[in-house]
Amino acid sequence: MKRVIGVDAGSTLTKLVYKEDGRMHYKKFLTNDHLFIRQLLKLDPVDSVVVTGGRADLWRDMKNVPLHEFDAVTLGTRELLKQEGNSLDEFILVNIGTGTSFFRVKKDEYERVLGSGIGGGMFMGLGRRLTGVTDFEDLAGLAEEGTRKNSDLLVGDIYREEEVGIAPHLTASNFGKPPSSAESPGDQLRSLTNMMAETMILLSMSIAPQTSKPFLVFVGNGVEGNAALQEDLGSFREWLKYTPLFPDKGGYAGALGAYIQGLNSQNGH
């Protein structure tokens, strides 16, 4: 059987999924690392390479099978959920890459309903402008250490809860407090992740099925490894009644979907 490699070539990161020596491998590198790509192009020509993502054109010199990125990410997400015992018939899929796509997924079909420029690219770009930090992991770590109460104007800063019936820690105005010596770079980043989460949750719930507690599944490199964003994405469930899920290896959903498609093609499916 030919070896299959699933590739998700995003605008910032390229992800690979393949099986070797009896176990699955998950790799990622900067998309503009052309030397790495040239090395990969020297792989055994009998390999079956399925490529998806916005920069799939970088792989045109390798004989490959193209796969639409929406097909890939939904296929890969279903597999990740299945591996964790969550074989859902219906859910909202939120793919947080450089930008964010929102899908309404049902048992045998899906529909991409919305897209937003609020995603990992915004976290990196605005985070860099706020703090001067350029590394994603460093930014995510700072956000996890921060508290947004020093940057955001909260409902509790204006009203008593009994006056308006709104939880005091909810946001009245993002970044609404004037700068002060108490505000750290981590506080600013935590306000940023919360602002992103608020927007993503409201957009997700606007397309969610009218069930008692819809499932919202978050994948993509913009959320994987960003504990602050994951926590913020789950912080509104008491009021909006949803169940957030963050599959392990969610940053590789597209590449995994490409890999599965390669296997299916080999098996004649």
Which residues are the active-site residues?
69
Give Cβ neighbours of residue 48 (< 8 Å, ≥ 6 apart): 2, 3, 4, 5, 65, 262, 265, 266
Take residue 162 and report the two structure tokens written for it: 């009994």
Give Cβ neighbours of residue 210 (< 8 Å, ≥ 6 apart): none
Note whether 178 and 188 are within 8 A (CB).
no
Which of 25, 209, 178 is closest to 103 using CA atoms?
Answer: 209
Give how far the C-alpha of residue 211 lies from the chain's centroid of Cα atoms, to the nearest Å: 24
The answer to whether the Cα torsion of 225, 170, 173, 156 is positive or negative is negative
Note whether 100 and 200 are within 8 A (CB).
yes
